[in-house]
Amino acid sequence: MVVSEKLDRFFTEKMKDYPTTRSFLVPMLLYSQDELGYVTDELITYLAGKTGLSELEVRNVVSYYSMLRTKPMGKYHVQVCTNISCLLRGGEQIFAHCSKRLGIGHKQATPDRMFSLEEVECIGACSWAPAMQVNYDFHENLTPESADKVLDSYKSKG
């Protein structure tokens, strides 16, 4: 089994709520990515079998959505927005600061795989720009100092 039995059972049950299995593909990919860390070839084969889609169809969906990753990232995936609202309020400086602080660039992970970093498009927090997202948590109105505190808080969690 590529994913846990619990997740496989959840997929089987939840799929019944969707008009087509394809409609449930992106949520399945996200749930699987949360469990595995990234989308593997084995996962693509498993999901194709589970949904009745071809592996190519699953791969097309994976390559379309930037939040789906095909290589391992850090335990804490730091996504810094540099789109227009954040750009105007220092988003690029926040990204550069995080990059320097972590010693990694766009879509790279620290050697211990604690953190990975990504420059992203709007994450829907424009009113509180500049913003970043770490896994599913949002951090807003950032300054380099507050970004440091955010990174420190995840580092101390281990």
**Given the rule CB under 6 A, which residues bind ligand FES?**
81, 83-86, 122-126, 129, 131
Closer residue to ligand FES, CB minimum distance, 15 or 122: 122
Min dist. Cβ of residue 57 to ligand FES (A): 31
DSSP secondary structure letter of residue 2: -
Closer residue to ligand FES, CB minimum distance, 84 or 155: 84
Reading the block at residue 150, the tokens are 């955010």
Closer residue to ligand FES, CB minimum distance, 58 or 86: 86
Min dist. Cβ of residue 82 to ligand FES (A): 7
Cβ atoms of 79 and 118 closer than 8 Å: yes
Cβ atoms of 32 and 43 closer than 8 Å: yes
- 3 CB burial (10 A radius; 0-12, 13-18, 19+): buried
Gap between the Cα atoms of 45 and 104, Å rounded: 32
Closer residue to ligand FES, CB minimum distance, 83 or 108: 83
Min dist. Cβ of residue 118 to ligand FES (A): 13
| Residue pointed to by tokens 């930037």 | 66
Min dist. Cβ of residue 133 to ligand FES (A): 9
Q: Is 31 helix (H, G, I), strand (E, B) or coil?
A: helix
